[in-house]
Each structure stands twice: as C-alpha cells, then as structure tokens.
Structure 1
Amino acid sequence: MILTADSLITPGQASATAWVRVDGDRITDVGEGTPPSPADRHLSGTLVPGFVDVHCHGGGGASFTEGDPAQAQQVAAAHLRHGTTSLVASLVTDGIDELDRSVRALGELVTDGLLSGIHLEGPWLSGDYCGAHDPTLLRPPSAEDVDRLLTAGDGTVRMVTLAPELDGAIAAARRFVDAGVVVGLGHSNATWEQAREAIDAGATVATHLFNQIRPLHHRHPGPIAALLEDERVWVELISDGVHVHPAMLRLARTAASGRIMLVTDAMGGAAAEDGDYRLGPIHVQVLDGVARTPTGAIAGSTLTMAGAVRHSVASGFDLADAVDAATRAPAAALGLTDVGEVRRGGRADLVVLDDDLEVADVMRSGAWVAPTG
C-alpha cells in the first residue's frame, strides 16, 4: 500500500508532504511530494516512526514485574495504542530465583516478537539511591548470579542497570558487554572516577538520569557529569513533569545533543486509572497520576511515550528532537536495527500525530492498530 501524510518527521528527514510504500511488514520506499502512483490512504497529521521505549515496567493495569505472559501482553497492548511499537520489559529488584522465572517467561515473548528485550533494573543497585526498589533484596553482582540470569534469558536480556561502585560491578559490566548486553549506570552513589571506569568497561547508558543517583557537585562531580560529558553514553530521561524539571531536561539536551532517549519508566498505572498496584514486591499507589510507595518515594511513572514527546516539546524541545529521542536514539542505544526510523527496509512501524501531538493512528509491522481514541 502507498500512504501519504501531511508531513513527515523521521531522523535525518522532515518534509511538508511525504509518502511511504508498505509491503507486508516492511517499508519498501519513502519519498517527498507526490507518490509514484495513487495513494491507498491519506494520513491527516504528522507521520513519525513508531516509538521505542527501552525502560518500561507496566501499563494498562498490568505489570512485567509479575513475569506473567498474559499481563505482559496486556502491557504491550496498552502502550501500543499510545504509539509504542517497540517495547523492552523492565524488571525491578527481586530475588534471583524470582528474576530467573520472570526472565524465562518474558524471554518467550521476546522470541515471539511481542517484546524487544528484557531490562534488569536491579538487584545490583546502591542502597543509598534505591528509590522504590526493596532495599532488603539488593546485592552486589556475583559471577554466579550474572551467568544464571544470562542463561535464563538465552539472548533475550537486552540491558541491565547497575551501580558501578558495588563490589564486582566492573567485572559484571564486562561480562554483560561480552554477552552482547547493554549496560546502564543508575541508582548509584558512584564517584566521577568510578562512573568513568564503568564507561571504559563498556557501560553505554545513563539510566533515568537525575533520578536516584548521586547529584552534581562542583568539586565532586559524581556520575551525572561523567555520563553527560562522554560521547559514548546514551542518556535516558523521564519527561513527565514529575521526575525531572524542564530546566534539567534542557540542560541534558544541550550537554548530550543527539544522545537523549526518552523513556517512560512506566508502571501498571500508565494508560490506566488511579489506584493500588504492585511493582515487583513493592506496593504502589497512584494518585492524580503520580505513583508512590508507602514511604512517599516515586515508583516509576504513569507516562506513555506519546506523553513524553508532548511534555518534551512543551519543555522547549523541537518536535524533531523529541521524536528523535523517542525513536532513533533508544533504538540505536540498544542495537534495535530495523526500528526507530521511517526508511526503506525498516519495519513498518508508523505513528500519526494530530495537531495537539495526540496519537491518531498506529501501524506495527504493517498492520493498523486501534489508537487510544
């Protein structure tokens, strides 16, 4: 089919009018102006690539952290209606036995193509900056635990987050990198030097920068400075108006231009109602769209990627920069090679945004999806 659109924004290209040819689940051609033959459908609005969310714990009232395939499908369906066509399932800190079971269950959905990978956010985090993670379950990374979870994933673990100051963390980072797993630094009380050592060992992602990490200091810069200044590092931001002030979003965009990737860090209350939820072993209450633990700690978000794009634009991002941070950048950061751009040969994942940047249409793998309405 040939689709035309009022405008197209994709990394490296923006045009007032555009057309896309889709054959099966692939984009076979893209152009500006008038298509070579009559269009099968005109899309009113701005055409962008399908969103890529590489840090998500749940949504639609369900959670990845339960390790239940039925719940995982519910999460993916909820975010798909909001334009997320590539989704990585994030697991929070839990016992190794529980994580092993969850990784094995979710790994089947990665193999089936529903999910784009698994992200282990914990248990190798700092107790000083654990946030909503259960501090009693935190532990330093041992070679035994690392190898066990890699074996459980059988190639489906796409990313891990760890605190580089922990005993064994640098060796674990190298082990993960050697296994083809992306290493993120976060939930950390590291020094600048410790963060640099981890980056040199292969860490390439700043996990939800500014949140649950040692803050900047003019004499003791800490991990934030190391992550922002290094061109090898991709920088996650939760752009929801709760986690990070707009001024800090703009600071990160300026310091890490082209390396910003928007993430939701969403939990079960995303695209769902206020109420009581679980985030792994932790009870979470969502009130007025903000998720918190009983201690008052922020416990993920109720954000969608479309919402992150809108808030980023409202915070001063150009629309093209916000779209790039929601598509190309996260795909590149995690090595997802056929998504994140509207280009010849790529997977036919498309989102149409209306004038208010709300999702009007969604296509995944060449098939239309009912949007949020």
Structure 2
Amino acid sequence: MTYYLKAEKFLLENEEKMGGYLFIKDGKFGSFVSQIPEGATVVDYSGYTIAPGLFDTHIHGIKGHDIMDGEVEAINEISKTLLSLGVTRFLPTTLTSLKDDLDRAIIAIREAVENGLPGAQSEGIFLEGPYFTELHKGAQNSSYFRDPDVEEFQYWQQLADGSIKKIAIAPERQGVFDFIRKVTEEGVLVSIAHTNASFECCKEAVDAGARNYVHLFNGMTGLHHRTPGVVGAALVDDRAFAELICDGFHVHPDVSALALRIKDDKLILITDCMQAGLMPDGNYHLGEFSVVMKDGVAKLESGSLAGSTLKLIDGVKNLQEWSSESLYKIWHLGSLTPAVSLGKDTQLGSISPGKIADYVVLNNQFEVQATAVAGEVKYQK
C-alpha cells in the first residue's frame, strides 16, 4: 500500500510542518515532501492535523471491559475502542490478584495477540503488582502482596510467551534489587509503584536498573523538603521516566505542569483507565474491587481513587492547556516518550522515515477523525 497523506499540519518527530505531503509505503512512514509525482495516490485530509498514534503504556480497561476479565473478547474490544481515541499501541495492564486470575489474564492477552488484534496493537504486558506494600496500596488487593520472586516471574513470562515488557514493584520489599537486575537484563522495564520506600531506597532501585515511576504522586510517599520520598526521587533522577495521569483529579493541574517542567521529555502520559471509561456513572469493578463512578471519577467504597476514566487524548489536551506548551511537545509525551521508555522508539512513537505508520487525523476541535495502524486506516469517524 503506497500513498501520500495531504494535510494542513503534520506533527513530525523533530518539527511541525504546515501543508505538504507525507509518503506512506508498505506500512511505514517515508519522507515529508512539498511536491509529489504525477499520478501518485493522495489521501486528502486538507484542513486537518496528522499526528503520530498515541501509546498508552498503562491501561486496565475501557467501555465495560477489563484486562482482568481474562477473556480474549475483552482484549479485542479494548483494542477496537482505543482506535476511536487515537491510541494505536498499548500495554494491557493487570492488577494484583489471585495467581489463577493473573494466569487467565496473561493467557487471554497472549491468545488475543496471536489471533490478531482488530484495532490498537499490544506492545507487551504490564504486570502492575503483586510485589507491593500496604501503606500506599491504592486499588490493589494487599492480601496478595509478597516479595518479588524471579522464578514466579519467569513462570508468568513463559505463560506470556515472553511478552511481559513492564512490571511495577515496591523497592522496599525483600530481594528487590537482585530481582530488578535479573529482569532488567531480560529487557523488562522495572517500575516503582505502590510504595512507602525512602528516597535512598528508590535511588538504589534505579542504580539496580529500575527506570520508571508509576502514576507519579499517586500510590507513593509525597515530597517533603527534608525527606524527599518517592516523589522527590522521581523528580530529581534524570535516569528515570515518570508516568502522569492528567485528568485533574489524580494530580492538581498546576502540579502536573510543574512535573512537566522538571521531567520534560522523561514524562509519560498515561490513563490508568479502567472499565468505567466511556461509560455512564454507576457501579463497576476494578479487578476484585467494587467501584462507584460519579461525575466521571471512579472510587472504591473507601473513597480512594480506583484508576481513572481518562482518555489519553484528553490527557494531552489538558496538559497542553495547563502548561501552555505546544501541542507538538505534549503530544509526543503520549506517543514518543512511552516508546522510548520501552526501547521501541526506533519503530514507534513518532512520524519519521522508516517507522511504522501509525497516525491520527485531528480536526481543529481536537477530535479524532481517523486512525491508522501500520498505514491502514482502521477507524474513520
């Protein structure tokens, strides 16, 4: 499939371009040009913006479906739904749960991917837990918390056919640093989450190979000027990425803008979305927990936040408004930076020659008009 995209604006990897044409060949991006050969096939999106497909590296579910349902159909429905939101890549994300439930979820993800996902494509599994601690448990079931176990992880990795690409742990657990070194060597992104660790403990975890902080400010010790805690460690260490949920509920808008100024291109926009996303207010579940959504905010019966109902494109829009930075810069925090964090930026995350041609067509109201995966338009409004 060979064609040229015509649009008003293009968010390329290193710059914005007005007008012109973008070459697509065999599912990959080619060069951006001002003129095209006579007789070339043109897909005309005049008046619209072409941006790279978004990449949600932390999502539990959406539109009534949950990864922990452990069903191939749930994975497929999440995959299809994400296209309408401009997301072309994602990491299906599990929760701390019974071993049998985790096994079933991993198998369902593997089978869905093997059969071919109909929409957004999985770039691997994110195991959120079960190696956490009690104090900042959030919507994780603490009855299953335990110390990290390499053999247990390798069992899950084998079950996943090697597709686990990210795992979150609390670095104060016993045996963590050896665990980090081992799984990092195997190409897994170790992330810090749901933890009461000290600043020093977090630094030691990053020294061992951890390179990401999950949902910054949430599920962790806060920042104090004498005891910087997990938040302080995340903000000051340039080696590590930090995820941010920009829904205005999990983190105050001005604090989100501050995090952007500090972390810059090491900030990853995520949703942490659960099954209530795109659904009306009411009763839902996140793993084993009952969740009530009111005014779009999902909470446990205890009142704790339970994931989010955020659309990643809205997170981009929110942070762009809160920070007054360019759309070009903020958009890449939801596309390119996630790819960089997983070592996939040579293939994904931005519009650059040779990369997979995942792109989104946006109107002036920031609404998704079309979404393409590997050059094929799979969603059209």
1:338 and 2:338 correspond:
no
Aligned counterpart, 1:360: 369
2:251 is equivalent to residue 244 of structure 1: yes
Query: Is 1:30 matched up with 2:37?
Result: no
Per-residue CA deviations over 1:131-177 (Å, capped at 9, x if unaligned) read 11112122221233222222222210010001101112222212211
Q: Which amino acid aligns with 1:297?
A: S
Q: CA deviation at 1:32?
A: 4.4
- Cα distance, 1:300 vs. partner? 0.7
Aligned counterpart, 2:199? 192
1:167-202 CA deviation, whole Å, 9 max, x = no partner?
Answer: 122222122112211001111111011000100111
2:56 to 50, 53, 56: 53
What are structure 2's unaligned runs of at least 5 residues?
none
Contact 1:61 1:272 in 2 (8 A): yes
- Residue 347 in 1 paired to residue 349 in 2? no
Counterpart of 2:69, as a letter, is E
1 CA distance for matches of 2:310 and 2:264?
23
Residue among 284, 299, 302 paired with 1:295: 302
Select between 154-163 and 172-181 the one with higher mean Cα deviation: 172-181
Provide the C-alpha distance between the structure 2 equivalents of 1:270 and 1:314, rounded to a whole number of angstroms.
Answer: 22
- Structure 1 counterpart of 2:105, from 102, 107, 122: 102
CA displacement at 1:261 relative to structure 2: 1.1
Bigger Cα displacement from structure 2, 142-151 vs 198-207: 142-151
- Structure 2 distance, partners of 1:143, 1:345, is 37
CA distance in 2, matches of 1:173, 1:89: 21
Q: Displacement, 1:96?
A: 2.2
Measured in 1, the distance between the counterparts of 2:31 and 2:56 equals 24
DSSP-derived class of the 2:74 partner = helix
Contact 1:109 1:115 in 2 (8 A): no
Determine which of 286, 308, 312 is the counterpart of 2:315. 308
Cα distance between partner residues in 2 of 1:96 and 1:326: 31
Residue matched to 2:337: 329
Equivalent residues in 2 for 1:208-247, closer than 5 Å = 208-247=215-254
Contact 2:222/2:232, CA 8 A, preserved across alignment: no
Q: Secondary structure at the match of 1:271?
A: coil
Of 35-44 and 48-57, deviating more is 35-44
Output the amino acid matched with 1:4: K
Matched to 2:147, the amino acid is P
CA contact (8 A) 2:53 2:89 kept: yes
TM-superposed deviation, 1:18: 3.3
CA distance in 1, matches of 2:103, 2:62: 22
**Which residue identity lines up with residue 367 of structure 2 in the other structure?**
E
Q: State the Cα distance separating 1:370 from its structure 2 match.
A: 2.7
- 1:47-102: CA deviation from partner (whole Å, max 9, x where unpaired): 11000110000012111121211001111111111100001100011022321232
CA RMSD in angstroms comes to 1.6
CA distance in 2, matches of 1:96, 1:19: 51
Q: 1:196 and 1:327, CA in 2 relative to 1: closer, same or farther beyond 3 A?
A: same
Match of 1:15 among 14, 17, 21: 17
Structure-2 separation of matches of 1:264 and 1:162: 19
Aligned equivalents of 1:18, 1:279: Cα separation in 2 = 45
Structure 2 distance, partners of 1:5, 1:35, is 13
Mapped to 2, the partners of 1:15 and 1:263 lie a distance apart of 26
TM-superposition CA deviations, 1:307-330 (whole Å, max 9, x none) = 111111121232112111011100
Task: Give the counterpart letter for 2:17 in structure 1.
Answer: S
Q: How does 1:54-93 map to 2 (within 5 A)?
A: 54-93=57-96
TM-score, reference length from structure 2: 0.93
After alignment, is 182-191 or 330-339 more displaced?
330-339
Unaligned runs of 5+ in 1: none
The answer as to whether partners of 1:107 and 1:117 remain within 8 angstroms in 2 is no
Residue 174 of structure 1 is matched in structure 2 by 181
Tell whether the 8 Å contact from 2:13 to 2:352 is kept in structure 1 after alignment: no
Distance (whole Å) between structure 1 residues aligned to residue 36 and residue 234 of structure 2: 44
CA 1:18–1:63 in structure 2 vs 1: closer, same or farther (change >3 Å)? farther
Change (3 A) 1:249 1:11: farther
- Give secondary structure in 2 for the equivalent of 1:122: strand
Cα distance change on mapping 1:35 and 1:308 into 2, 3 Å: farther
Aligned amino acid, residue 322 of structure 2: S
Match of 1:280 in 2: 287
Contact 2:347 2:354 in 1 (8 A): yes
CA distance in 2, matches of 1:73, 1:272: 17
Paired AA for residue 272 in structure 2: D
Aligned counterpart in structure 1 of residue 143 of structure 2, from 127, 136, 140: 136
Residue of structure 2 in register with 1:4 after alignment: 6
Pairs aligned (count): 371
Tell me the alpha carbon deviations over residues 252-277 of structure 1, each in whole angstroms, 9 at most, x when there is no partner: 11111111110010001112332222
- Give the superposition deviation at 1:295: 1.0
